[in-house]
Amino acid sequence: MKGFLQILGFLNILGGLITGIATEGWISFIIWVSAGIIGSSIFFGIAKIIDNQEVIIEKLNNTLGVKTQGGKLYAYKKCTKCNNKIEESYTSCPKCANREFE
């Protein structure tokens, strides 16, 4: 997703540049290139946000016991016996039936 957005950003700049050259005229060239850069900044911005979000999720995963599954965020607890990661709502470990969690 991030790579795809970056490619779209580059294509947007390239498209603006090509259109600017094709229109023949300094003012329209500047307008098209500016439009390309402005438009691509949106794609690069979203790519940056996704990048930051992945870092935040990774940090949450290491400190607060949060994991992502199918793009959704889940809280989990860790079994003290087998270190199995279990959904917050479970009262005992499905692997070893232990009832104590970290």
CB of 34 to Zn ion, least distance (A): 59
The H-assigned helical ranges of the chain are 2-22, 26-63
7, 82, 88, 92: residue in contact with Zn ion (rule CB under 5 A):
82
Spatial CA neighbour of 39 closest among 67, 74, 15, 68: 15
Half-sphere exposure of 78 (CA within 13 A, CB side): 11
Among residues 51 and 87, whose Cβ is nearest to Zn ion? 87
Question: Could you tell me which stretch among 5-13, 23-31, 39-47, 85-93 binds Zn ion (CB under 5 A)?
Answer: 85-93
Among residues 49 and 82, whose Cβ is nearest to Zn ion? 82
